[in-house]
Structure 1
Amino acid sequence: MRNLKGLILPVLFGGEEPEVIISNESNGNRVIGGFLFNLLDTLAKKYNARLNTSRLTMSLSPYEIHLLVLNGTIEISAAGPLIIQVPDEWFLYPYSIFDWNVMLPVEQNIPVYKVFAHVFKWKAFVLIIVLLILISALVTVSAYIKGSNQHFHKFDFFFNIDCFRGILGGPFFQIPNASFTTKLIYSLIFLLGIMIVTSYDAFLQSFMTQPPKENIIRSFDDLQSTGMKINAFQADIDELLYKFRPQLMQKHSNLFQAINSFEDFIKIRDSLNTTNPFTITEPKWIIYANQQKFYGQQLYRWSEELCLLENILLVTSWTHYQVD
């Protein structure tokens, strides 16, 4: 291995971006990149070897390419199978560790008329009513003590329209030559009016700038209630989910919509059709996240709550060589 003297390594490249990236130049030349290609290219240069870049396929999944290694059809797989428990006799050291999550269609903003319900919640309404009754009672009692009860009705003990205007930040009637206690109550009304109106305006401007979302999905149960299905590659479901997330599949197996063809799965996901969520690896999500920056709005988001597997090992597979 110190010097392979220009030997062409029989590597089959495959899988998906960004592990292996294939691009065609205007002059017809094909360029291969990606961090898996760069890894093997660096390895080949270190030992004075070359890579056979003519052998590549984007239609086979990493699992299918790995099987070709196991049955001896190809010698080296550069497709990065997703392996949790790595048999030492078949694989190199892992070259990448990442999470496997669900990318969700971004939830829709709530209608404008519902924004006001989010700004002015029922707890705030109850608090204002309680404060109104309390302050109305204080003002009415203070007026009776002062002897200025000609301006008030007995109903004002529970609901004083002037106090109501003041709490909402508007002008209101004040008793002439009010006592010191009454003036303190008026000052309290001024402060409450400023606090309530300022808080309402601040929340309203915030929600108008970035409206809340409808039906935010924070768990698999939330996703189940929406009726959407997670598009996933059939081999990923069989090799990863049923083996390493049996409890999840026992409860939510009907959440997954299996796609048998790896090529079809990649094409459907690349279309970014927001009808359904998709399973996705962390390196691939980085590409989608940057791609969406060129759109008018974000279509999908990376869901930390809907994590399928953490710290998945990405490895290359090699056949055995008998050396005489």
Structure 2
Amino acid sequence: MVGLTIFILCLGQIRGHIPDVPMQSEQDLEEGLFNLLLKLSHEEVFETLLVYGENCVFHALSRRLEVPTVLVSSGSTSFDWSFSSLTLILSCGPDDERESIFRTLIKLQRNKRLIYLPKDTQPDSVCDSYSQKEQYNVAMVKEDFNKTGVIYTCRFYTYLEIEEVGLNDSKPIYIEHFQNMHGKPITSMADLVPPRSMLYLDKKSGKRKLTGYLGNLMNSFAQKVNASLQFEILSTQVSFTEIIRRVRQEELDIGISLEASMFSAGFDTTTYPFLLTSYCLMLQFPSKLPINRVFAIIIDRRVLGIILVIFCLLSLLLIYSQKMSWQNLSLPNILLNDITLRGLLGQSHPFPSNASKHLRMIFCILCFASMMMTTMYDAYLQSFFTNPPSENPVRSFKNIGKLKQKLAIAAMEARSLSFVNNSQFCEINTDDIQIIDGWKDFLKMRDSLNISYSYVVTEDSWNIYAEQQKIFKKPIFYYARDLCFSRQVFMSIPMRKYLPYRHIFEEHMVRQQEFGLVSYWRSRSFFEMVRLGIMPLKDLSPPTVYDQGLLLQDVSSIMKMYVAAMLEHIIRQHEFGLVNHWMANSFLDKVRLGITPFKDLSPPTRQEASLVVEDISWLLKLYVASMSRYKVVMSWAEVDMLRFGNDHKLQKVSAERIQMFED
């Protein structure tokens, strides 16, 4: 009986301790995972937890960690992941992460993952499943983690490996797999559009290699990550959009080409913007003005208006200063003033003999104005004869039709501009556009600098033509910055959307830009093209056509103006002659009409005696007085008569030598 009692008591104690065994095991597992998360936080700080699955140990850990936690029990978020913080992904099982949002998949592709594995799940199958989704930062723990302390990590070198890392080991749990790709291939395709990418044969290895600023970028990246660059050459029968299509269908890793932001919907299948450029017209320099137009363009319209104002002011001053009155003021005398016109043209003109100070000042102003006008006009005329100015350039898309050449554009680019409804392109008349079907034919025509057309070009391509024209005697084309379809075009490199080393390539691309290597490669592009025989090092400008000299038709407009001025002068003189004739015949008209009598109305003439000596006695007296030292005796009547006649002989005799009497 006592033994039975003791057995029952022991059995009760054993049954009381049995439920504590699994509870203690879960607490140990939670504590071990908590230490693991603390270790991960020391390796790389994470600010957000994303937990996939239901009712697992990670839910209890999220309460102990002082970080924000997002619970996704359904396995997929219903929104675009827009958190900018570092996120650690926890999965309650290998199949609990079933993300279906496209943008969230791209943003969380590189994030670190920790997966809790059931008993019968093998780490190899989990790593293989995640590698097919190109998610490589994967670590796993099993149910016995509290006993073993082993973390299973996926390693992707030349082949898939599973590496066991202890909780207390110094080895990192997560590594960057693509810093060393161990010779893995990078599949690509080059469009061979200079100066982006150019093909040449390496004499040492006998292999085909790429150069150009895009080709050098890809070569340096493959060398950095220890990968092999495997590239195809785009066929001449297809457009470079074939590269973009194959990248979007994930047939290529990276395209050795550039895609414009204005023709793409986003950066899902492109890199960070690699190049900022503009998309404008490449026009020929305006032709020189003909000689017969040089005479008129020297004087600007505003200057001509100022000259007309000065002409009218000087005419008014001359009209008033001649008689100090406005008696001769009239519109013809102002606009056709002979003295002012001759004076401003630097010709001789009449000058009054008894001119006042005001009139002399006006003539000085007229003389100074004529010297300035004639000197400046002559200087400009000689300069323009040596090097005539160019015609006004086109500054509006609506005036493209004024150009002598049509605007050549590839059919692919014309469709793209029409698709985005570019307002500048819509302003151009379709009759002024020459669409080239083959884009390679368009590039060949533009590279040959065919002067039969104008072209569209990006600024990075224009720099090659600008460098080429430095060896020309006279440049042919210029980059019309006033006629741009877009002044800011971001050019990006095509890249498939789930490329796992996208961040490494973009970091390499930005560093090459910051170090100045891309600028150096672009500056050397012209010489690389010359070295490879793509661009000739010779003058392609048309020969200079020298004028035959000044011909009669060049001054025909001036001769016409001269003839018109002579006719106007003759008409004016004829009008003045008719007026004088009418004034001269006005007396006869009055006599004919009986207004004025035709008879002598003067008083009768008194008959004087013949000339005697007494009549000239005063003249003799003045002569004697002027020639001797004796005084002259004269009467007041004689003196008054001489003064009234303003006789110059009386002026020669001083008043002291005249003795005057009343009678």
TM-score by length of 1: 0.82
Matched, 1:245 2:421: yes
**Closer, same or farther in 2 for the Cα pair 1:278/1:158, shift >3 Å?**
closer
Trace 1:20-169 onto structure 2 (pairs within 5 A): 20-22=197-199, 32-52=210-230, 55-57=232-234, 59=236, 60-84=238-262, 85=264, 87-120=266-299, 128=307, 131-145=310-324, 159-169=336-346
Matched, 1:312 2:489: yes
Deviates most, 43-52 or 100-109: 43-52
What is the CA–CA distance in structure 2 between the aligned matches of 1:123 and 1:312, rounded to whole Å?
40
Q: Which runs of 5+ in 2 are unaligned?
A: 1-177, 326-331, 501-663
Cα RMSD after superposing both structures: 3.3
Q: Is this contact kept in 1: 2:200–2:208, CA < 8 A? A: yes
Q: Is this contact kept in 1: 2:247–2:269, CA < 8 A? A: no
Q: Deviation per CA, 1:2-36, whole angstroms, max 9, x where unpaired?
A: 11123342222224222123457899986632221
1:151 is aligned to none
Aligned length: 313
Matched position secondary structure for 1:102: strand
2:535 is aligned to none
**Closer, same or farther in 2 for the Cα pair 1:39/1:186, shift >3 Å?**
same
**Closer, same or farther in 2 for the Cα pair 1:66/1:192, shift >3 Å?**
same
What is the CA–CA distance in structure 2 between the aligned matches of 1:16 and 1:103, rounded to whole Å?
18
Deviates most, 28-37 or 211-220: 28-37
What is the CA–CA distance in structure 2 between the aligned matches of 1:93 and 1:9, rounded to whole Å?
19
Counterpart of 1:231 (choices 404, 408, 421) is 408
Question: Which residue identity is paired with 2:212?
Answer: G
Q: Is this contact kept in 2: 1:19–1:35, CA < 8 A? A: yes
What is the CA–CA distance in structure 1 between the aligned matches of 2:371 and 2:289, rounded to whole Å?
28
Q: Deviation per CA, 1:230-256, whole angstroms, max 9, x where unpaired?
A: 2112222223x1233344454436143
Identical counterparts, % of pairs: 27
Q: Is this contact kept in 1: 2:397–2:427, CA < 8 A? A: no
Trace 1:9-28 onto structure 2 (pairs within 5 A): 9-22=186-199
Question: Which residue identity is paired with 2:398?
Answer: D
Question: Which residue identity is paired with 1:89?
Answer: D
What is the CA–CA distance in structure 2 between the aligned matches of 1:159 and 1:252, rounded to whole Å?
48
What is the CA–CA distance in structure 2 between the aligned matches of 1:74 and 1:64, rounded to whole Å?
11
What is the CA–CA distance in structure 2 between the aligned matches of 1:253 and 1:125, rounded to whole Å?
36
Question: Which residue identity is paired with 1:303?
Answer: A
Q: Which runs of 5+ in 1 are unaligned?
A: 147-154
Could you say which structure has the greater relative contact order, defined with CA pairs below 8 angstroms and 6 or more residues apart? 1
Following superposition, the deviation at residue 115 of structure 1 comes to 0.8
1:150 is aligned to none
**Closer, same or farther in 2 for the Cα pair 1:206/1:49, shift >3 Å?**
farther
Deviates most, 252-261 or 289-298: 252-261
What is the CA–CA distance in structure 2 between the aligned matches of 1:128 and 1:78, rounded to whole Å?
63
Deviates most, 258-267 or 202-211: 202-211
Q: Is this contact kept in 2: 1:137–1:158, CA < 8 A? A: no
Question: Which residue identity is paired with 2:489?
Answer: I
2:480 is aligned to 303
Matched position secondary structure for 2:485: strand
If you compute each CA radius of gyration, which structure gives the higher value, 1 or 2? Answer: 2
Q: Deviation per CA, 1:26-53, whole angstroms, max 9, x where unpaired?
A: 9998663222122222322322234346
Q: Deviation per CA, 1:42-77, whole angstroms, max 9, x where unpaired?
A: 322322234346x33473533122123234443321
**Closer, same or farther in 2 for the Cα pair 1:128/1:94, shift >3 Å?**
closer
**Closer, same or farther in 2 for the Cα pair 1:83/1:207, shift >3 Å?**
same
Q: Is this contact kept in 1: 2:271–2:493, CA < 8 A? A: yes
Counterpart of 1:277 (choices 434, 445, 454) is 454
Question: Which residue identity is paired with 1:305?
Answer: D
Question: Which residue identity is paired with 1:273?
Answer: N
What is the CA–CA distance in structure 1 between the aligned matches of 2:249 and 2:445, rounded to whole Å?
30
What is the CA–CA distance in structure 2 between the aligned matches of 1:159 and 1:88, rounded to whole Å?
73
What is the CA–CA distance in structure 1 between the aligned matches of 2:286 and 2:227, rounded to whole Å?
50
Q: Is this contact kept in 1: 2:280–2:484, CA < 8 A? A: yes
Q: Is this contact kept in 1: 2:192–2:198, CA < 8 A? A: no
**Closer, same or farther in 2 for the Cα pair 1:25/1:108, shift >3 Å?**
farther
What is the CA–CA distance in structure 1 between the aligned matches of 2:229 and 2:211, rounded to whole Å?
12
What is the CA–CA distance in structure 1 between the aligned matches of 2:203 and 2:221, rounded to whole Å?
29
**Closer, same or farther in 2 for the Cα pair 1:22/1:202, shift >3 Å?**
farther
Question: Which residue identity is paired with 1:37?
Answer: G
Question: Which residue identity is paired with 1:211?
Answer: P
Q: Is this contact kept in 1: 2:258–2:492, CA < 8 A? A: yes
Following superposition, the deviation at residue 203 of structure 1 comes to 3.5
Matched position secondary structure for 2:378: helix
Q: Deviation per CA, 1:206-240, whole angstroms, max 9, x where unpaired?
A: 5445533336311111113447432112222223x
Following superposition, the deviation at residue 140 of structure 1 comes to 4.5
Question: Which residue identity is paired with 2:242?
Answer: E
Question: Which residue identity is paired with 1:110?
Answer: L
Trace 1:257-276 onto structure 2 (pairs within 5 A): 257-276=434-453
Deviates most, 168-177 or 285-294: 168-177
Q: Deviation per CA, 1:89-135, whole angstroms, max 9, x where unpaired?
A: 32221211111111112221110111111114566556545544543
Matched position secondary structure for 1:298: coil
Following superposition, the deviation at residue 276 of structure 1 comes to 1.8
**Closer, same or farther in 2 for the Cα pair 1:45/1:31, shift >3 Å?**
closer
Matched position secondary structure for 2:377: helix
1:149 is aligned to none
**Closer, same or farther in 2 for the Cα pair 1:319/1:121, shift >3 Å?**
closer
Matched, 1:200 2:393: no
TM-score by length of 2: 0.43
